[in-house]
Amino acid sequence: MAQAYYSSDAQESERSGSRLRRLGVRLREDRGYWRRGIVLAVLAVLLGLVMLLHAQIPNTIGNLGSLTETFLPWFGLFVPVLLILGLVRRSATAVIAVLVPVIAWFNLFGGLLLSDKQSGGGDLTVATHNVNADNPDPTRTARDVAASGAQVLALEELTAEDVPVYEKALAATYPFHSVQGTVGLWSKYPLSATRPVDIKLGWTRAMRSTVATPQGDIAVYVAHMPSVRVKLDSGFTASQRDESADALGAAIAHEQLGKVVLLGDLNGTMNDRALNAVTSQMRSTQGAAGSGFGFSWPASFPMARIDQIMVRDIEPVSSWSLPATGSDHLPIAARVKL
């Protein structure tokens, strides 16, 4: 019986070796395996280079660099398409070339997907939400975000008509609050030194306040950067957003308190170089302690993380998105250690 098993294994091994030898012969004899799919191979290499060298794409023409960086994670969707086309074409060259964008994508974003960085603990939960000026049910939205358990909550895109609604709905949970222009901050801890922050818009869409937590004072900034648009005639129009980001970055750079939290809708992703004035001096809680991309907009089919929770001299512990409300943005929250 043992001899029979041995013979069967030997025969199977011989057949496998024979198949490999035949494949090798076909690859040597059929030069088409290497000659076919050259265009696909070139496209694959170009895709990889775009991802690897995105910072070198100029913004001088329609802010093309910022537009690319805003949706950079989605470039990975082209990889399986190119791979399938390469297999259909039976092109070894194209299939091997697909490795370039695969390596580039995982180099940029693999860390967000392959490890769960969230951990327990932390001293403070913070949340932020662009509530949408056209929100049909602000009372329910306020209750939904308060249910997150955040001790500090920032809201953006508040209208004068809806401010009293949010104040009433959040009063029982947050005894301290301040609204400056179209942004507001609600807190379970006392607020002081609260003031608007000039981000060069002509009206108030950013603020700063000191929050007296049990672990000490922290500076909390709330901001709503100007919207960006993609137009056929002018490209990615973001100049006003970029100027506001520079002004916000300058304000944070001059902050006297060491521990800083930034909450808000920045209308830009962490990859967007135009936000460097802010992102160069702060850490994203999603990048440091989140799992996945944490896309927040649009709420119906999130495609980009333009709502941000960022910290300076504070340790992110966990970061997550909250369920959808009546807004076109998802609320986001983070737990931090002071």
In this structure, what CATH number is given to the domain that contains residue 223? Answer: 3.60.10.10
Cis before 298 (ω within 30): yes
Number of domains comprising the chain: 2
Closest CA to 286 of 309, 262, 313: 309
Instruction: Tell me if 284 is assigned to some domain.
Output: yes
Co-location of 193 and 83 in the same domain = no
Among 238, 221, 219, residue whose Cα is nearest residue 229: 238
| Pair (191, 136) in one structural domain | yes
- Same domain (yes/no): 58, 142: no
Does residue 143 form part of some domain?
Answer: yes
Contacts of 20 (CB under 8 A, 6+ apart): none
66 and 196 both lie in a single domain: no
pLDDT at 2: 47
State the Cα–Cα distance between residues 302 and 297, nearest whole angstrom.
5
- Assess whether 214 and 311 both reside in one domain: yes
d(CA 185, CA 191): 9
247 shares a domain with 161 = yes
Which of 68, 87, 114 is the C-terminal boundary of a domain? 114
* Same domain? 188 vs 258: yes
Q: pTM of the prediction?
A: 0.85
User: Is 235 part of any domain?
Assistant: yes
103 and 139, same domain (yes or no): no
89 in a structural domain: yes
Q: Is residue 151 part of a domain?
A: yes
Same domain, 291 and 161: yes
> Of 95, 114, 133, which residue sits at a domain end?
114
Domain range for residue 95? Answer: 31-114
Residues 207 and 94 in one domain: no
pLDDT number for residue 110 = 84
* CB neighbour list of residue 178: distance below 8 Å, 6 or more residues apart: 184, 185, 191, 194, 207, 209
Is 16 part of a structural domain of the chain? no
Indicate if 175 and 241 belong to the same structural domain.
yes
pLDDT digits (tens), the chain, 338 positions = 545 444 555 566 666 656 656 655 665 555 666 778 899 999 999 999 999 999 899 887 778 888 899 899 999 999 999 999 999 988 999 999 999 999 999 999 987 776 556 667 899 999 999 999 999 999 999 999 999 999 999 999 999 999 999 999 999 999 999 999 999 999 999 999 999 999 999 999 999 999 999 999 999 999 999 988 765 555 566 789 999 999 999 999 999 999 999 999 999 999 999 999 999 999 999 988 887 899 999 999 999 999 999 999 999 999 999 999 999 999 999 999 99
Kindly give, in sequence order, each residue whose CB lies less than 8 Å from that of residue 298, ignoring residues fewer than 6 positions away.
328, 329
Residue 154 lies in a domain: yes
Domain boundary (59, 84, 114) is at 114
Q: Is residue 293 in some structural domain?
A: yes
Looking at the fold, whether 190 and 149 belong to one and the same domain comes out as yes
